[in-house]
Amino acid sequence: MSYLKQDQPEFNYLRHLVLLYGDAVKPWTKEQLKYYAAHLDPDGHADDWFYDSFLFINPKSKSGTDYVADVNLGKSMAGEGDFFPVCSPTPSDKIDWEELLESYFGEGGSLQTLDETIEELSTSIGSPQHRRNVVLTLPYPHITQESFGALEAGSPNLNFSIKGQNISQATDSRLKSEVWFVEQTVRRWKEERYKNLNLLGVYWIFETVYRSWDVDDHVLLKELKKHVNSKGLKFLWIPFYATYNFHLLESYQDYYFDMAFLQPNFLFYKEGKTIEVASAVAKRCNAGLEMEYYMELDEPIAITNERHIRFREYLNAGLKYGYMNESACAHFQGVGSLERMYSHADPVEREFYDDIYHFVKGTYQIKAYPPPPPRCIFVPRNRAAIAIDLGRTNLRMGVVDESGKILHWKQEEMPSDKQVILDSVVARVAEGLKFCESSGYLPAGIGVSTGGRVNFEKGEVVDSTSLIPGWQNVNIRKVIERTTDIPVVVDNDGNCSAVAEKIFGKAKSVDNFISIILGTGIGGGIYVDGTLLRGQNNFTSEIGHVSVDADGPKCSCGNRGCVELYASGSGLVRWAREKFPPLSGLGARDDLSAKAIGEAALSGDPVAVDLLNKAGEKLGIAVAGFVNIFNPSMIVISGSLAGLGAPYFEAFKRTVRQRAIKPTADTLLIEFSDFNKEAGILGAAASAFENLMPGTTVTIDVNQQNQAETDD
């Protein structure tokens, strides 16, 4: 599962697409467009590029006919109250469509103005890395249009309705008109030769795909997509939040569109529309996400006074759910918003101008929410996870927010007794919950990362060969749940490390990867198509227990010659004592460690270098088998051995590339994790966020709350 990714060459590296609503009577000016093309410093000087892609939308023609699909006959245009949309009773015709083409391509039109704006800005901030993308809206072929006009002299007048004909004939006429508009767009684009623009594609303005007795958008769009693609263009769509559209998104690229951005409508609806659900659907369906903002609303909807707090949630959620840097995004801001934000008297609006810029650049950081206004429907609470990391040496606890920031941290030496460990876990969980309460964080869940094999469904450690004696059949989940009603998830440290990389780390935008932990033992986790592999008993990804020597020493797992016996921290010490006792005197030391062997190799000790070369080669042999089976695009390495240096890791990388199938080896990335000793904490927290999915916000009915307080 992944969002519609940013920076794809086939979409000319689109990252953030801004919707520019135009006025047929008042064309765009360079003064207006510069606020979208570039970021301006407080003195009004351009200091960087802003949006990389621009979608031009004209809702109406000069005569007032509609290019958009539907109009509202009720009072609320935001989907609440008596919202009542119908197909426009004032549909545009061929003359209006020609006018729209002229507004795009004519002298002083949108494209010429944007091209000249970018050219002028380039003199102060340099040329952008890629041409700026433009997307042009296709006018909707209204089923209320009975006399569109003839496409060519002598050709019949097109009728888009079912009056006097059947639905198939109406659909054919509608398709012909759209094909004609695309042809005219391509012809005029080639004639103009804009210097700074790339025509990415065209946009279907209706926010769903409709079929009934009198309209068939399904057939129309299937055939229109073929034609759009034959011209080298992409077909774009921005559907509204609805379960029907969720279903359409599941196969939108197979039938209708090349790119889609789901609009949560979180800014407009009182209840029921959440960014969390919308982002999850977009991610599942390979779609992007739209963000909405309005500086003012003259519509009678319930959340007008909440627009600042809700837009802050849009920005913060970009980091919580990853869409700021992982997903192509669309931005709906009303008319001329950025220009007015920049010079607005309200410092909140001015701050949003810079926040949007940093969001587009991928540098925005989560900010505090403004105080909820009176009778606020949406009351945000930052979520945090309580994380417990059980290792051989240390027991750690952390409180981690949704961006991966560790807010609170505690470490103690791992007790040697099972009951003392459990008592310490309960005490540390209580400490974490107390921190959340005092700091205003909503506990999303409790995650436990532990060595050994874990029954994930039960939250039980089945057995552990390396943690402590007697660490078998321990149901940590039950022990913790006796003390709190916060949900608990327990997983082994290898799986947790993989989830940490997926949620917070190097593999955020990667669907197929292997995470390897190199420490006292060797563990890891494997993601395939965006899903963590667990196996029948949750015992998959036992990387350390792959045999690389059938006649080797017996491993604690019962096998012989496991790679953990050679390439882990404990394995290096064992092998050094057994095969290389001199090791410049190190072999005789009681405190011999992997770190000491690494330091000896770094100082040039040839025996230590040889030992690390051989250990790295053993690890490479084991991992190459995983690479050939799972075809990952990335391997992420973490753990205490990540600092062993070149003798170990160069041998590892060389062996993997030699033994992995060539097409896989040629594209495989081998990366080191950004996490150090906090990896276990982040893994436990990530597992809680990934597997325990309560809502991101607390919704309060003020009347009910007041009544409850009265009853008490």
Q: What is the pLDDT of residues 199-238, one digit of tens each?
A: 999 999 999 998 898 999 999 999 999 999 999 999 999 9
Q: What is the pLDDT of residues 534-560, one digit of tens each?
A: 887 777 778 889 999 898 899 888 889
Q: What is the pLDDT of residues 637-667, one digit of tens each?
A: 998 888 888 899 999 999 999 999 988 888 9
3-state secondary structure of 303: coil
Q: What is the reported pLDDT for 294?
A: 85
Residue limits of CATH 3.20.20 in the chain = 9-361
Query: Residue 702: is its pLDDT beyond 70?
Result: no
Per-residue HEC secondary structure of 391-433 comes to: CCCEEEEEEEECCCCEEEEEEEECCCCHHHHHHHHHHHHHHHH
Which architecture, in CATH terms, is 9-361? Alpha-Beta Barrel (3.20)
Q: What is the pLDDT of residues 34-67, one digit of tens each?
A: 999 999 999 999 999 999 999 999 999 999 999 9
Q: What is the reported pLDDT for 498?
A: 92
**Sheet with strand 522-528: strands edge to edge:** 531-532, 522-528, 513-518, 634-638, 669-672
Least confident piece of the model among 191-195, 475-479, 599-603, 674-678: 674-678
Q: What is the pLDDT of residues 285-305, one digit of tens each?
A: 999 999 999 887 655 566 778
User: For residues 627 and 494, what is the distance between their CA atoms, to the nearest angstrom?
Assistant: 17
Is 507-673 in CATH node 3.30.930.10? no
| 316 backbone dihedrals φ, ψ, rounded to 5° | -65, -40
Between β-strands 378-380 and 329-332, what pairing exists: parallel, antiparallel or unpaired?
A: unpaired
Q: What is the reported pLDDT for 589?
A: 61
Q: What is the reported pLDDT for 694?
A: 39
HSE value, Cβ hemisphere, 13 Å, CA-based, for 603: 11
Structural contact between residues 301 and 307, judged by C-beta atoms closer than 8 angstroms: no
Give the number of other CB atoms < 10 A from CB of residue 485.
6
Identify any residues that bridge with 329 across adjacent strands, giving them in sequence order: 16, 289
**Sheet with strand 460-463: strands edge to edge:** 453-455, 460-463, 474-475
Q: Kindly state the average pLDDT of the residues 151-159.
A: 92
3-state secondary structure of 18: strand
Query: Residue 699: is its pLDDT beyond 60?
Result: no
Per-residue HEC secondary structure of 121-148 comes to: HHHHHCCCCCCEEEEEEECCCCCCCCCC
User: For residues 617 and 153, what is the distance between their CA atoms, to the nearest angstrom?
Assistant: 75
| The pTM of the whole model exceeds 0.85 | no
Give 509's pLDDT tier (boundaries 50, 70, 90): confident
User: For residues 662 and 649, what is the distance between their CA atoms, to the nearest angstrom?
Assistant: 20
Residue limits of CATH 3.30.420.40 in the chain = 382-505+677-695, 507-673
Q: What is the reported pLDDT for 581?
A: 64
Structural contact between residues 72 and 84, judged by C-beta atoms closer than 8 angstroms: yes
Between β-strands 531-532 and 132-138, what pairing exists: parallel, antiparallel or unpaired?
A: unpaired
Q: What is the reported pLDDT for 541?
A: 78
What fold, for 382-505+677-695?
Nucleotidyltransferase; domain 5 (3.30.420)
Q: Kindly state the average pLDDT of the residues 76-93.
A: 80
Q: What is the pLDDT of residues 365-414, one digit of tens each?
A: 888 888 888 888 888 877 899 999 988 788 999 999 888 889 999 999 98
Q: What is the pLDDT of residues 103-116, one digit of tens each?
A: 999 999 999 999 99
Q: What is the reported pLDDT for 332?
A: 94
Q: Kindly state the average pLDDT of the residues 583-593.
A: 67
Structural contact between residues 366 and 403, judged by C-beta atoms closer than 8 angstroms: yes
Give 632's pLDDT tier (boundaries 50, 70, 90): very high
Q: What is the reported pLDDT for 41?
A: 94
User: For residues 530 and 526, what is the distance between their CA atoms, to the nearest angstrom?
Assistant: 10
User: For residues 710 and 702, what is the distance between their CA atoms, to the nearest angstrom?
Assistant: 12
Q: What is the pLDDT of residues 428-444, one digit of tens each?
A: 999 999 999 898 888 98
Q: Which of 51-60, 79-88, 459-468 has the highest mean pLDDT?
A: 51-60
Q: Kindly state the average pLDDT of the residues 565-590.
A: 77
| 404 backbone dihedrals φ, ψ, rounded to 5° | 90, 10
Q: What is the reported pLDDT for 692?
A: 75
